[in-house]
Amino acid sequence: MDCRIMLKIIAVTTIFTYCFILPAHTQTYPLSGQVRDEHGQPVPFASIYKANTTTGTSANSEGVFKLQLPSGEHTLLIRAVGYRQAAQQVTVPRDTHLTVALHTEAYLLDEVVIGHGEDPAYAIIRQAIRNRKKHLNEASPYTAKVYIKGVQRLLQAPKKFLGFDVDQVAREMGLDSNRTGIVYLSESESRITVQPPDKFHEEMISSKFSGNNQAFSFNRAADLKLNFYENHQPIIEGLSARPFVSPIADNALNYYRYRLSGTTEENGLTINKIQVIPRRKAEPLYAGDIYIIDGSWRIYGVNLQLTKESSVNILDTLSIRQEFIPLENQQWQPSSIRFDFVGGLLGFRVGGYFAAVYSDYNLQPTIKKRLFNEALRITEGVNKRDADYWAAHRPLLLTEEEELDYVRKDSIQRRRESKEYLDSVDRRANRFKPMGFLAGGYTYRNRAERWRLSFDGLATSLLFNSVEGLALHYGAQYVKQVDTVRNRSFTLYGNVRYGFANQRFNGYLGTSFPWGKSTFGLYGGSTVQDLNNRGSLPPLFNTISTTFFGRNYMKVYERAFGGASWQYTLPANVKLSASAIWENRVWLPNSTDYTFWERNKQYLTSNNPFVPAEDIPLFDENQAFKVSLGVSYDFGTRYETYPNRRVYLPSKWPTLSLNYTKAIPGVFGADAAYDLLIARLYKTQIAMGLYGQLSVDLIAGTFLSSKQLYYTDYRHFNGTRTLISDQQLSTFLLLDYYQHSTTENFAEAHGEYNLSTLLTSKVPLLRKLKLQEIIGLHYLNTKEVSHYGEAHVGLQWQNLRIIYARSFGARPEMRGKDAIRIGLRLF
């Protein structure tokens, strides 16, 4: 036969096959159904999978499901934690609806358990612990598709809260007359790429957000990445001061008791149901059941809870259900995971769930080089999928309430986007309230044009010091959003300051604005500020100290200035900055000796920290022109990609920064002449597992030249002399604010270890307070102080801490000091 004729026959046959035969095999048909228990009640979030595949879906909160299957006969496996697995034969497309009855699993308990010996659960758990690392590391790289649905409901709310009309806000959110209903509903699909044990990449495929078709879902597969083969699980940031201990962690036997509830057979496997019981209250421990496969000692599923007894914050209960399915090469991976939560605070009660369904596992993926540097990718258009797309792709069907929420919130959104609606909202919100202005300020907003004008509160703008007496330090700010995609804004700010005792007026203006990928700033004017440019003593604390106790610790001067700044972020999260500023510095004398009580006047000192008895000028009026260059790098290359922007994630390594400042004489009459180089290594909240967090701050610097410096140019250090202070990591608790500033080489080191309730959780009377134990060390080296150090111990609750500090050092007059400090974190 002629070769050309043969090729034509092959071509025609191929075309016929693709056009007619293959579609017959790849066409799928919908199968819907509902999963119920033996009493006819819906079984929520049951898993429905085709046998020996990863093709499957999950039921929604009402037990209803839908699954696309090709024509033919199929065996479906239906599972739910706590129920006996059911197998159902279906023929597609003949069968279109399926009702499945799951029966509560009857776990048989061997007679040997009834004795007085060790519960058999311990032997099983020990085997699971021995095999933990094997199962943690055995998985090969894989990809999978993850669908996530998040629903949060407001269950209870007061009519008013801190002056806000909650009723009105509830109506605008589409809630019912009792201020209850869905406040968050979102769905997302992602494709994840995983290289065990810890490399993870997520690409969002689609996103749907009830009430905002411009936003992206907050659902993240990474947030639901929960691996009980790891010793600890942090779960949700802020949920607990410490991560939670896995029931099969290396040291789990020290934290849990176990009880074998029984065994059952499923898919030829023996499944052990083991009750997990915390040994102590107020520890980060789970309670509930874990299911272990006999022989391989793998986790088959979990049904665990975290409660107030687990020292969780805000939430009353967080329930975690996780199921696994076998894949090729003896791998087991999650088929579904679900978080159910209930909690409340200050009269508000919330509840809801996040459910994830995993499917389409690929155990032989092609992984691009440096893929895992990108943690998350969200591209343009993922939030533009239509209703037909979601109807075909969502494995968790919407309930009637959820369908109604999408319709209602979409209608509300269209109304909210109209200029008439935005103007009406602004008219209500922009009403001037005298008491509100006095305490917290006033903001006038134009939502349609995306700008706002804010004024400080009058009461919070008043301060007192011995130089100005009663002073008004009043500011205002204008913000105009100019880039909605990158959330970048033009800002104009200003401040006026007037001292009623010395009758001096100051004021300044400044602006910051984006330009390309850079941010620029311009500013100028005059103000009164602390001689210590590290800001050791907040003006509020100085006001209290001066007026109530006669201790006017803050020393100030008047500074006129004008300058510009520039900031830019390079790839790999290298941040560059530059600034140039001209200053005129004027020392100021005291102008008042007022205190609330006459007897306290004896403690007042001059505005010269080195001559407390006389107001002798600390320095002559002088000028400086300074140029600064800075660079910082946090050694982190992980980032998230959004449409038109990239956001770098915090690194687990410290941030290294270098800053060089040169004071140039002669420019605009400048007097100061010096060169200063500072290096800093900084990292807070370094996770130490169950043993808390560590924070470190290392700073070293040198004056490369020091031809002409004035006191305001010295290197200053954060000190403390008041009982109540704003304690930052770099704060010395017993050091004077001004006495030890230097023009020489310097080095300081600060470290703080937060035990995160490790000890107090074991004390019955303290555990409910969730007090965190603090241990700290501080070190300073300069030519003047030689070697100086401090150690402190204390307790912290929220932003309030009580600390005992003691000093040590080479100089006799600086060692052996001690004091109690009350720390109030203002930032």
429, amino acid identity: A
Are 623 and 653 within 8 A, CB to CB?
Answer: no
φ/ψ (deg, to 5) at 598: -55, -35
Round to whole Å and give the CA distance between 587 and 471.
Answer: 17
* CATH 2.60.40.1120 domain locations along the chain: 3-102
Sign, CA torsion 476/478/484/486: negative
pLDDT of residue 113: 53
Round to whole Å and give the CA distance between 750 and 758.
Answer: 22
The first and second tokens of residue 120, run together, are: 């058999």
Rounded (10°) angle between helices 400-416 and 419-429: 80
pLDDT of residue 188: 92
Least Cα distance to 733 among 683, 772, 777 occurs for 777
pLDDT of residue 22: 35
pLDDT of residue 345: 82
Query: Is it true that the peptide bond before 141 is cis, omega within 30 degrees of 0?
Result: no
Fold of 3-102: Immunoglobulin-like (2.60.40)
**Which residues have C-beta within 8 Å of that of residue 169, sequence separation ≥ 6?**
none
Least Cα distance to 510 among 565, 585, 579, 591 occurs for 565
pTM of the predicted model as reported, rounded to 2 decimal places: 0.84
Q: How many residues does the chain have?
A: 827
Rg (CA), the chain: 33
φ/ψ (deg, to 5) at 384: -110, 10
Round to whole Å and give the CA distance between 63 and 42.
Answer: 5
Angle made by CA atoms 17, 23, 27, in degrees to the nearest 5: 160
Least Cα distance to 454 among 464, 446, 463, 462 occurs for 446
pLDDT of residue 606: 96
Q: Which residue has the tokens 């530059």?
A: 578
H or E segment and range at residue 275: strand 269-278
Q: List the chain residues with pLDDT less than 50.
A: 1-25, 827
pLDDT of residue 798: 84
Q: Which residue has the tokens 């075309």?
A: 15
Give 294-358 as a 3 state SS string: CCCCCEEEEEEEEEHHHCCCCEEEEEEEEEEEECHHHCEEEEEEEEEEEEEECCEEEEEEEEEEE
